[in-house]
Structure 1
Amino acid sequence: MGRAARRRSWTAALTMAALAAASGAMGPRAAADPPAEPPPGQVEFPTQCAPPQEAGLPPADGPTTAELTVDTPAPRVGDTVTITYRVLRTPAVNPLPGELPAGTVTPTGTVRLAGAQTGEVTVTGAPGNGPVPPGAALGTHLMTGTFTVTAPGEITLAPGGYSLHTGHPTALDTPCTPAGPTPVSARLTATPLPTANLRYVALGAAHGKPGATVKVTAAGFTPGSAVTVTGRAAGQAPTADRARGTADESGRLTLELPVTDRATTAVVAYEGPAWTAAKGSGPAAYTVDAPAPPPPGTQKLTATVEPGTLSMTQAAEQTALGAVPYGEGGGAAGQLATVTVKDARGGPAGWSLVGKVTDFAGPGGTRIPGAALSWTPRCATAPGSPSSCAPGSPGTVGPDGAVLASTQDAELVGGTFTVDAGVTLQVPPYAPPGAYTAVLTLTLS
């Protein structure tokens, strides 16, 4: 009797939402409201502004209120990022004894980069002031500049010093210098450029009888990595044929793959918990030969146990995570909707359930990286199931994916399994209030 069954891959998407709590509270208003929090990205720092020597005025000490924004919070290495530096309040004053006309103050300044990339970015602006009376503050100013991302990771931006220049009636400059380090006003997370996939797989034969072994040679893999070799059906679904090995110090391995599943039309190899185009190779074509006809005068009697499929269902398509207070941040926790896996194939291949999550998109284009989501998987096996379900390791989910649950290969596998996980999103302290939504994709193979 033939027990080998076609192995199928199932994918489901689960929408997850985290809520950054708004500043308003429910119920009667307190007798005294706390001081209002500044808008996201707006910072204040002590500054000394030195008036032009010709004005004969003392230095002006006081706070500068500033705000930095970037045109993209998630660039790739090599991208150009535009920074906007807004001076909303300055201690610098009109150094002239008379009114300073509108459109006569030109700002320049710097922005400090730290984290994955360091340095200073020069920003400049066009004259945009209104009329300024004698001794009055020089108003608000807007400057922009660009820099090229050279390294992946989080990059913080803090406002630096600035200078206000006027050419009326003569060239005069008022430089403003921060009194110490300035606070971070903006952040971005840069991702590396994609790399070429140089992995490949070759077969020692292009065909064979059912149950024959084929020599598989794979190369270009990460040295020391676990490599899975599987059969693939015409519809690109994995079959029951599977073997595993470890790449040597040159990223190469050779193994023998028994091919028993007549649905196998090709062979692929990959590293990691599941097939991905970035870490896989193949397919290399392979044909399972048709069996020889029975001798004359004989009858072959066959009773068949029909294999089923590998499938999954989920209890819900959305998971709501808890709220966190604005200004404090922390872990927004929740419970993943229960997933039921049914393996009715009756073959030797186990299965793996892998999850990947996108970035969390929030108000105004704000994003929280998918790597900020972690989980603690759980898995239960129904009584009578031939296989035993093992939960994945607790840790980060992220865009590269992590195993939620799996079963091992065995002579005969199958059963019903329930899988879930506790999930937590680490929300930054000053993430703008509102809902943050991502998509968690679960792939069963």
Structure 2
Amino acid sequence: MASAGRPPTTRRDAGPARWRRPVGVGALVLATGAAALTAPATALTAAPTPVNFATRCVPPPVAGLPPINGTTTAEISVNDTTPRVGDTVTVTYRVTKPAASNPVDLALPADIMTPSGTTVLGGAQTGRITVTGPKKNPPVPAKGAFPPFSMTGTFKVTAPGEITLSPGDYNIHTSYIMELDTPCTVSSPPAPVSLTITAEGDPAPRERAIELGAASGKPGARVTVTGSRFTPLTEVTVAGRAGAAQTADRMTLTTDTDGAFTARLKVNDKATTGIVAYEGASWSDDKGAGPAAYTVEDDTPLPRQSQRINALVANGTLAMSQEGDTVQLSKVDFGTGGGADGALRTVTVRDFRGGPAGWSLTGKVSDFAGPGGSTIDAEKLHWSPSCATAPGSPSTCAAGSEGPVGTGGATLAATPDAALTGGEFTVDAGLSLKVPAFTPPGAYTGVLTLTLT
């Protein structure tokens, strides 16, 4: 008997809202010894289309009946057929004709049936969506056909292009006298595609840039700062930077209709090492440009028989490393299921940039592929992140939230923006793959990809 319906999954943000270029990517192969059935989508359609597919339904053991091999009629619809990458789409899986029926000589009252299932994604984005329906149904006569039902769920669009949606397995749970399940699986997966949607890509980030008319100057000299690709007709601050700190040398102006500007910034602070420009009240990595290197030539007269000694602390890089690339999870038993547990191979993040930007380490996992085309849904992998900060580090690392990883991704660890950031950090996580009870035996493997931005 299959398990009761699964609750809908809530996707979590894969990282901070600001846009950053990825500077590090790592992958871990995750393996265990049990699985679940899923199916990829196939042919394309232009609009929601009812489809028929062979289905094998298993009556509750208490009924003492053999499996039912029948035909399910269903269709998939969404609230948005042209989403953008990053949008959340609501999916409705409507079964208009279930393959199963009431297997006993006992009429079932109203509102005792709760459906659950999966919708299968294919094309530009693959995976499965958990869908559930309300506990609602009309009365069902003895040995009568089960009524139609609808299930809903959501997914976050992660890739542009055509995405197909197909019906997947479903389960009918009844709560009357006893708690019983009638699981129905697609006999020859994948089921036909019922709907194709077209996702548009992310809006191109504004790659703001500045150029200086000179690389150095005496205290009080004005340097020409030319900016491009900022937001049109927006106030921009141009300021000096002393390492990671902003100096009092600053001015504001408004960009033209093309998002460009030209400023003449007077630089007085002898500690200035660069110049930045940004939109908004304070510096942010996603709305700023720079720093562009600038040196103030100290012309203060020296006493006789003395020497001026200069030193430079150079900016480094943001990088990550991991202790190995394979995790072996513990075994689970067929018929029992449970958590296949293990631990992430330790990741070390070194932020030696010496600037104001923090970082975010995110991860996403593929479905777990097993024998004979069997899979375990990526949403079944959960982690419990932890992060330690090395003594003396300017930043403090914060671990991501405990919960599912999935194909959409989740945050493993991060540090915030600040006047001065950096340091060395050790990131770990407990891993647990929630294996359904009657998953076909065998070895299953998924790939966890980590990205540092």
TM-score normalised according to structure 1 size: 0.49
Please report the TM-score for the alignment, with normalisation by the length of structure 2: 0.48
